[in-house]
């Protein structure tokens, strides 16, 4: 690698953080795209969550492919290409994905949209593997985490703008559309949106390629193969594919086709009841409706049970595989590579849970807000709430980037209080500018104040941050589950505040003490972004069975594990002689 210098390469850093924006824009835009697709393509909650599934599983397969190729060549592919070139390749791949999205929109086929998103995210996988260590390498290692936080802040700006632009592209200036009206919308504006995004991908690739300020950051050093880790990951992948194929096949079964036909009959009866004046006909239709509901339930229940068992099996495969590596590698470290370190394996599950909870809260928010006790909102009306959720991630990350600018202690203290509220007002202004109602978000400032208090308590220490903000998220989910209305909405939105600082905390703890295995460990962590493709569909299927509100128990469990990780990882590192509380 190029030698590190204490002077930050700001031109390169400012160019680099543009790719962080793209990741956030697409991830948060999916939160609007999911309820739209559910109405437009007449999907159930699980089918709509396949958007997240295709998007986040691409991260896993992209990172896995790079790991396998690196093992085969005995050279780290990203290091060999260099961070700069790797990001250029990733951007070009995402450009191809945007073109595929345009084609998918033109033919209005849901499966084609999923393929397009998968290709976009494959490019993101390569970009993200290179961008995080690249940001750290662009200056003094002591401020590397702050540079990653700055990228995270720009990422969160994308998550704030993404839902608003996606809502405008889908719905235009219309503010009150029913799901039936959504099914008759034109997707021409989506073509323009993805065309513009593809153009930006290409422009960013050219900017990176021709920039003289951005170092190549290449390395041709050989890496030691981790054969046991390779076998484990390939086996886990095969098992996951074997589990998900039967899940998808249930949508082609005779029983499910029967359910679809019955549901259409049910919709017809409901429509006739709204206009029917003859009392005898109304009574007959009500009896017919009751019978249809009962038949649908009896036919659908076995299918739903099969799906939830299979999805639960996928989760067990991932947890079981990592647990197997955890206990086996402690007896014999040979062949495990970075997986010989327990903090990394615990961190892999933590990244899995973190991305799952971050995506799950936002992606299921649209369906939650349709409930009567949450306002009975139409899909078109949820944008300000989704924007505030993803914007909550920006609030914490902007605060985390303050130290990049090397302020005095007094000014840094002021900034740590002012910056979160500045970010909060940016979100409000963005929604106001988009024509959304924002009065219902004013009292959310109290949640921002709570986040600031937790930030001071954490003292910028990774372990303290992990424990305190995981506890914050767990308490928020519990409040949301046992309440309704604006209190519950604020509680679930506050999950974004809790998540805002967890990524760098998990990453720092998980790769601490890995030494020469740090790069390999980073790739394993990126693979676990897979959590965003597994846990939200599980929550979606659980929502189809027990209700969307109750399904948020999945997010509470995720925060529970993150809290456990913060406690266990500290003990693991102490056994290795690493005093984590003394490390910033």
pLDDT at residue 188, as a whole number = 74
Q: What is the pLDDT of residue 386?
A: 84
CATH number belonging to domain 8-214: 1.20.1250.20
All CATH 1.20.1250.20 domain ranges of the chain, comma separated, are 8-214, 339-583
Residues whose CB is less than 8 angstroms from the CB of residue 415 and which lie 6 or more positions away in sequence, other chains included: 399, 402, 407
Which has more confidence, 344 or 191? 344
The two tokens of residue 342 are 């327990």
3-state DSSP helix/strand/coil % of the chain, to nearest 5: 85, 0, 15
SS3 category, 573: helix
Per-residue confidence (pLDDT) for residue 356, from 0 to 100? 92
Q: In the prediction, which pLDDT does 4 show?
A: 42
* Backbone φ and ψ of 215, nearest 5°: -70, 155
Most confidently modeled of 132-136, 308-312, 320-324? 320-324
Question: Once rounded to an integer, what is the mean pLDDT over residues 318-331?
Answer: 94
Higher-confidence position of 473 and 378: 473
Give residue 242's pLDDT band: very low, low, confident or very high (50, 70, 90). very high
Position 500 pLDDT exceeds 50? yes
C-alpha–C-alpha distance, residues 284 and 251, integer Å: 31
Residue in 535, 555, 527 with CA at minimum distance from that of residue 389: 555
Q: By the 8 A CB rule, do 562 and 473 touch?
A: yes
Write the DSSP symbol of residue 378.
-
Does the pLDDT of residue 175 top 60, yes or no? no
Residue 534 binned pLDDT confidence (cut-offs 50, 70, 90): confident
Which single residue is written with the structure tokens 């099914």?
Answer: 183
Predicted pLDDT at 267: 80
What are the b/e assignments for 133-151, b being 16+ CB within 10 Å?
bbbbbbbeeebbbbbbbbb
- pLDDT category of residue 477 using cuts at 50, 70 and 90: very high
Q: How confident is the model at residue 447 (pLDDT cuts 50, 70, 90)?
A: very high
Q: What are phi and psi of 515, to 5 degrees?
A: 60, -125
* Domain 339-583 indexed as CATH 1.10.1200.10: no
433 within 8 A of 443, measured Cβ to Cβ: no
Q: Which of these ranges, 245-249, 457-461, 463-467, has the smallest mean pLDDT? A: 457-461
Give ∠ CA 301-178-284 in degrees, rounded to 5.
Answer: 55
Q: Supply the pLDDT for residue 413.
A: 84
> Does position 3 have pLDDT exceeding 50, yes or no?
no
> Lowest-confidence range among 104-108, 153-157, 315-319, 377-381?
377-381
Confidence class for position 1, pLDDT limits 50, 70, 90: very low
Assign residue 512 a region (left: φ > 0; alpha: ψ between -120 and 50; beta: otherwise): beta
Q: Sorting pLDDT into bands at 50, 70 and 90, what band is 89? A: very high
Rounded Cα distance between 184 and 218, Å, is: 51
Total Cβ atoms within 10 A of residue 574: 13
Looking up tokens 């190729």 gives: 69
Residues contacting residue 8 through CB under 8 Å, at least 6 positions apart = 138, 139, 140, 143, 147, 404
Share of the chain above pLDDT 70, in %: 91
**How deeply is 356 buried, as exposed, middle or buried, from its count of CB atoms within 10 A (0-12, 13-18, 19+)?**
buried
| Average pLDDT value for the chain | 83
pLDDT computed for residue 217 by the predictor: 66
List the structure tokens of 381: 């009306």
> Is 374:488 a contact under the CB 8 Å cutoff?
yes
Mean pLDDT of 568-575: 89
Helical H segments across 276-405, by residue range = 279-331, 342-363, 365-368, 383-400
Nearest CA among 88, 63, 20 for reference residue 338: 63
- CB environment 12-21: b (16+ within 10 A), e (fewer): bbebbbbbbb
Task: Considering only residues 576 and 10, tell me which one the structure prediction assigns the higher pLDDT.
Answer: 576
Kindly report, residue by residue over 478-490, the tens digit of the pLDDT.
999 999 889 999 9
CA 468 to chain CA centroid, nearest Å: 21
Q: Distance of alpha carbon 221 from its chain centroid, rounded?
A: 33
Adjacent-strand bridge partners of 75: 222
Would you say the C-alpha torsion 507, 513, 519, 525 has a positive or negative sign? negative
Q: Measuring CA to CA, how many Å separate 334 from each of 88, 186, 325, 501, 504?
A: 35, 58, 12, 34, 29
Query: What is the phi-psi region of residue 335: left when phi exceeds 0, alpha when psi lies from -120 to 50, beta otherwise?
Result: left
pLDDT at 76: 75
Degrees to nearest 5, angle at CA 423 with 418 and 428: 125
pLDDT at 213: 74
Decide if pLDDT at 328 tops 50: yes
Name which residue leads in pLDDT, 391 or 519.
Answer: 391
Choice among 142-151, 241-250, 263-272 with the minimum mean pLDDT = 142-151
- 406 compared with 414, residue with greater pLDDT: 414
Predicted confidence band at 467 (pLDDT cuts at 50, 70, 90)?
Answer: very high
Alpha helices by DSSP H, listed for 364-405, are 365-368, 383-400
Query: Would you say 473 and 495 are in contact if contact means Cβ atoms under 8 Å apart?
Result: yes
Which of 436, 444, 568 shows the shortest CA–CA distance to 163?
436
H helical segments located in 74-187? 77-81, 83-107, 110-137, 144-171, 179-182
- Cβ neighbors of 572 (< 8 A, separation 6 or more) are 342, 343, 346
pLDDT at 123: 92
Q: At residue 309, does pLDDT exceed 70?
A: yes
Q: Which helix (H) or strand (E) holds 23?
A: helix 10-40
Least confident interval from 116-120, 133-137, 430-434, 563-567: 133-137
**Which comes out higher in pLDDT, residue 477 or 546?**
477
Predicted confidence band of residue 173 (pLDDT cuts 50, 70, 90): low
pLDDT bracket for residue 223 (50, 70, 90): low
Closest CA to 366 of 44, 46, 33, 27: 33
Average the pLDDT over each of 166-180, 321-335, 336-350 and give the range with the smallest value.
Answer: 166-180
d(CA 102, CA 97): 9
Q: Say which residues have a Cβ less than 8 Å from residue 363's Cβ, sequence separation at least 6.
A: 30, 31, 34, 49, 51, 52, 536, 540
- Confidence band for 220, pLDDT divided at 50, 70 and 90: low
Of 77, 51, 128, 160, the C-alpha closest to 503 is: 128
Encode pLDDT of 285-305 as tens digits: 888 888 988 988 888 888 888
155/98: higher pLDDT: 98
Provide the pLDDT for residue 339.
92
Predicted local confidence at residue 231, as pLDDT: 93
Q: Which of 22-31, 38-47, 214-223 comes out lowest in average pLDDT?
A: 214-223
What span, in angstroms and rounded, lies between the C-alpha atoms of 543 and 550? Answer: 7
Q: What is the pLDDT of residue 19?
A: 85
The pLDDT tens digits for 104-140 are 888 888 889 899 999 999 998 888 888 877 777 777 6
Q: Which pLDDT score, from 0 to 100, does residue 404 have?
A: 65
């Amino acid at each position: 690698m190029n030698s590190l210098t204490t002077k930050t390469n700001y031109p390169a850093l400012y160019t680099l953080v543009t790719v962080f924006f793209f990741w956030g824009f697409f991830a948060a835009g999916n939160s609007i795209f999911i309820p739209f697709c559910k109405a437009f393509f007449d999907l159930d909650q699980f089918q709509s969550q396949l958007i997240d599934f295709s998007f986040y599983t691409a991260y896993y397969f992209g990172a896995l492919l790079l790991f396998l190729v690196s093992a085969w060549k005995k050279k780290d592919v990203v290091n060999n290409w260099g961070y700069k070139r790797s990001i250029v390749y990733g951007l070009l791949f995402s450009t191809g994905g945007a073109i595929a999205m345009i084609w998918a929109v033109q033919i209005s086929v849901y499966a084609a949209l999923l393929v397009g998103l998968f290709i976009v995210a494959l490019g993101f996988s390569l970009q993200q593997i290179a961008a995080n260590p690249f940001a750290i390498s662009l200056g003094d290692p002591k401020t590397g985490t702050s540079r990653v936080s700055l990228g995270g802040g720009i990422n969160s700006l994308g998550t704030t703008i993404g839902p608003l632009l996606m809502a405008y592209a889908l719905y235009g200036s219309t503010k009150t559309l029913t799901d039936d009206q959504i099914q008759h919308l034109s997707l021409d504006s989506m073509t323009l949106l993805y065309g513009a995004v593809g153009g930006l991908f290409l422009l960013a690739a050219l900017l990176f390629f021709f920039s003289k300020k951005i170092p190549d950051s290449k390395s041709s050093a050989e890496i030691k193969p981790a054969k046991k880790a390779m076998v484990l990951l390939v086996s886990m992948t095969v098992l996951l594919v074997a589990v998900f194929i039967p899940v998808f096949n249930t949508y082609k079964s005779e029983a499910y086709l029967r359910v679809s036909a019955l549901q259409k009959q049910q919709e017809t009866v409901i429509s006739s009841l709204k206009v029917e004046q003859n009392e005898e006909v109304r009574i007959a239709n009500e009896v017919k409706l009751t019978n249809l509901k009962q038949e649908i339930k009896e036919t659908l229940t076995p299918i739903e049970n099969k799906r939830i068992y299979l999805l639960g099996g996928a989760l067990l495969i991932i947890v079981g595989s990592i647990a197997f590596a955890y206990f086996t590698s402690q007896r014999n470290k040979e062949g495990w590579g970075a997986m010989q370190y327990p903090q990394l394996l615990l961190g892999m599950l933590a990244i899995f849970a973190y991305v799952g909870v971050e995506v799950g809260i936002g992606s299921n928010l649209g369906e939650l807000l349709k409930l009567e006790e949450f306002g009975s909102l139409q899909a078109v009306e949820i944008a300000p709430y989704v924007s505030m959720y993803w914007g909550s991630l920006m609030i914490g990350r902007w605060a985390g980037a303050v130290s990049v600018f090397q302020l005095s202690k007094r000014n840094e203290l002021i900034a740590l209080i002012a910056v979160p509220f500045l970010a909060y007002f940016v979100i409000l202004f963005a929604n106001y500018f988009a024509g959304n109602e924002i009065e219902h978000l004013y009292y959310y400032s109290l949640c921002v104040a709570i986040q600031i208090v937790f930030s001071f308590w954490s003292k910028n220490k990774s372990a303290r941050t992990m424990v305190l903000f995981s506890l914050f998220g767990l308490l928020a989910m519990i409040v949301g589950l046992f309440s309704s209305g604006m209190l519950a909405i604020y509680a679930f939105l506050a999950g974004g505040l809790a998540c805002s600082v967890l990524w760098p905390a998990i990453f720092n703890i998980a790769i601490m003490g890995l030494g020469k295995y740090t790069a390999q460990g980073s790739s394993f962590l990126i693979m676990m972004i897979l959590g965003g493709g597994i846990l939200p569909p599980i929550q979606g299927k659980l929502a189809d069975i027990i209700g969307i509100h109750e399904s948020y128990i999945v997010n509470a469990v995720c925060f529970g594990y993150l809290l456990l990780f913060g406690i266990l990882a500290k003990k693991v590192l102490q056994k290795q002689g690493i005093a984590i509380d003394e490390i910033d």
